[in-house]
Amino acid sequence: MSKKYTSTKRCYLIDHHSPQPPDILLDHLDINEYESFFDTANIDSLMVYCKDHWGVSYYPSSVSGTQQHKGIKKDWIEEISNLLKKKNIEFVAYYCIEYDEGAARRFPQWRVKRPDGSGLIRDDEFAKWSLCCYQTGYREYCLQQLEEIVSRYAPDSLFLDIFGASLCYCDNCRNKFEAQYHYHLPDTDTEILEHKTDIVQFLNNNAKEFLAELKKRVKAIDPTLAITINFSCHYPQDIRDMLDYQFSEPLLKDNWFSSAYARDTAIGHYPILVPGEASQVYNYSSVNEYVCDLSSIAAQGCRVGMYSGSQHIDGTLDFQEARLLGSAFTEIEKMEPYLTNRTPVKCVGIIQSDLSMSINIPSLHPDAILRMKRHNPHQNAVLGAMQLCERAKLPFMILPERTITEELLKQFNVLLLPEVFVIEEDLAELLRNYVNNGGLLISSGQSGLWNADSIKLPASSIADLLGTGNAKIHTEYKANRWSGYLKNVSNRNFSGLLSCTTPPISEHFIETTCAESAETLLTLILPCVACDAEHWVNWWSPPPGKELGYPALLHNTVGRGSCYYMAFDFFTMASLESFQHPHSLFSDLIAMEHVVPVLRNHTDTPDIIRTAYFETEDSYIIHQISMIPKSFHGDAFPISGGTLELNKRISEAKLVYPESISLKVNEESDKAFIKLPQFTIQQIIVCKKGTSS
């Protein structure tokens, strides 16, 4: 197998999806100009369009029905692949699957069909791509082209874009669904939501089958070929496991959180996150924004990439992009010794659940890529959990449900359940053992309240752990925006808004009871009215009204461990960033339970500084990035790195990037404290493990 993907760190794609002339001419492609661009950009990997969203090829295909771009009078793929091999740059062959405007127009029988028989179209502001269904003759068309690309040009990697299966109502898809599920493929919004579990399973299985056939055929030609798909980390794990490496785009707030998610759902699969968010050709961001964006990916443990529309309509290139990329990639190259052969420090584990992905989704978009980009409630809550940990400067990792073992959980101080709607018995038992043996579990909302078939359970499948009883979901205050208010009824001291008022919660809450073994710390105050056409109070959410004693925050002691349960959508509240108190409430729970991670960054500016924690066999590696350039169009100024607290003895501490400086280590008992220097964009600190002299 080609192993270049295991070592390349700086990828680029000239992103040009080009319709035929006269719109896009491509009549001045010059391989020497491209070589100069690659050198200036300092790349070690290039993704090359072989077939794009327009369905045009950039090489002379022998497959019946193929249309080469008419502006190209040569074999551009042969020319550019030869250059990449000469320069030892990884050659990633790009091939688009479902978006194929050309094939859809030439072969309308291949279109993804709506229920009324019309073609499905991706209708964006600038793009109106038609989709093709690979349960039709389009399947063989794609497979033959892919075989052709692999046999002719021997790419190092094959990248499949717009890969997933869209919801199609052609005869083949209708018949296939009915044969498997013994009822007709639902075609109304109501029916689709009612049967969404079967539909999602059907579409995922279609994608999995196609990927298996594709792999078999192209690897029969070149067994060394590495294969990946776009948005890898958002596919189910059985599809992720079929890939040689994982490639994703940033779908979770920004590069920092997206790359952490991609990293942890691709352990051992050399994840790469593309693009950096700064690139807008002709309307360029500053070089500091490029450095900040791309470094955020590298800091969190993913390989780095960028794509942009740097190709002019005649095929020449806009070199400002190469210069900006070169500046950012040069900085990443300097940091590379500290970006490899390391693992994330373990403290907080955030449970990620493929089984929960389709639960409580408001709609099922037929376009597979839009379905993925419009996050489901579970993913929104996972993002909130990550944001809580980041602001608290606690090391965190995403834990995909099927990778969890008893031994793995022992390594974490805290486990978070962010709207993990489906918790089957095998995971439930692992959680019970974890808490019984002294672990801390924090859960919220509807975790464990559904089965994999989208059927609500009377009580959470881990109610014994949470200290709850039967559960009823209250949505009658949804129009209020705030469905309730929190009141402290315990002897515990909470900080933030809970210390001085009754802060609001999310648009729904869970009515449950408190088990005898548990303690109610916070209760819910309901709004004085539920807003409708006849009832309202003022210009904003109705204020607190009735106190019915519904538990809002429960604490349950189980064995040697503890569970906290919040009867509202706590983690999603953090991801929305429209609530002021989730961060302080989370920090209060962490402090109450005396959670002491191996290392932690204490800073007065937690929303400005991002901190990633990694370790090797003999060192801890701390990477800090300032978000000031992102917030102020590249402007940057020095900011304190705060203090690093280590719960271990260390032998030395050094700043290793952007310069090399020894740092003073102050010891107290078995802890070490390091005052970190000021920095402008980013810095990397290495602490050697061991006993200091």
Asked if 492 and 592 touch (Cβ cutoff 8 Å), the reply is yes
Q: Are strands 128-130 and 414-417 parallel, antiparallel or unpaired?
A: unpaired
Look up the pTM and report it. 0.96
Give the DSSP H/E element, type plus range, for residue 327. Answer: helix 319-335
Q: Are strands 10-14 and 666-668 parallel, antiparallel or unpaired?
A: unpaired
Asked if 601 and 642 touch (Cβ cutoff 8 Å), the reply is yes
Identify the segments of the chain with pLDDT beneath 70: 1, 276-277, 691-693
> What whole-number distance in Å separates Cα of residue 148 and Cα of residue 64?
12
Position 264, amino acid: D
Position 419, amino acid: E
199: tokens are: 């539909």
300: tokens are: 């969190």
**How far separated are the first and last CA of the chain, in Å rounded?**
47
Q: Where are the alpha helices (DSSP H) in 577-635?
A: 582-592, 628-631
Dihedral angle sign, alpha carbons of residues 350, 355, 360, 364: positive
The residue among 509, 485, 477, 444 whose CA lies nearest residue 579 is 485
What does the chain come to in residues? Answer: 693
How many CB atoms sit inside 10 A of residue 400's CB?
Answer: 18
CA-based R_g, the chain, Å: 27
What are the φ/ψ torsions at residue 676 (nearest 5 degrees)? -85, 150
639: tokens are: 């900011």
DSSP structure class, residue 235: S
Tens digits of per-residue pLDDT, 272-323? 999 866 788 999 999 999 999 999 999 999 999 999 999 999 999 999 999 9
SS3 state of residue 573: helix
Asked if 439 and 416 touch (Cβ cutoff 8 Å), the reply is no
The residue among 672, 670, 612 whose CA lies nearest residue 641 is 612
SS3 state of residue 138: helix
Dihedral angle sign, alpha carbons of residues 210, 216, 221, 225: positive
Interior CA angle at 386 toward 496 and 243, to 5°? 175
Q: Are strands 56-57 and 67-68 parallel, antiparallel or unpaired?
A: parallel
SS3 state of residue 649: coil
Give the per-residue pLDDT at 441. 98
Q: 286 Cβ partners below 8 Å, 6+ apart?
A: 629, 633, 634
The residue among 506, 498, 479, 524 whose CA lies nearest residue 573 is 506
The residue among 548, 481, 557, 482 whose CA lies nearest residue 519 is 557
Give the per-residue pLDDT at 79. 97
SS3 state of residue 435: helix
Asked if 36 and 260 touch (Cβ cutoff 8 Å), the reply is no
> What whole-number distance in Å separates Cα of residue 33 and Cα of residue 319?
10
Give 111's strand partners. 132
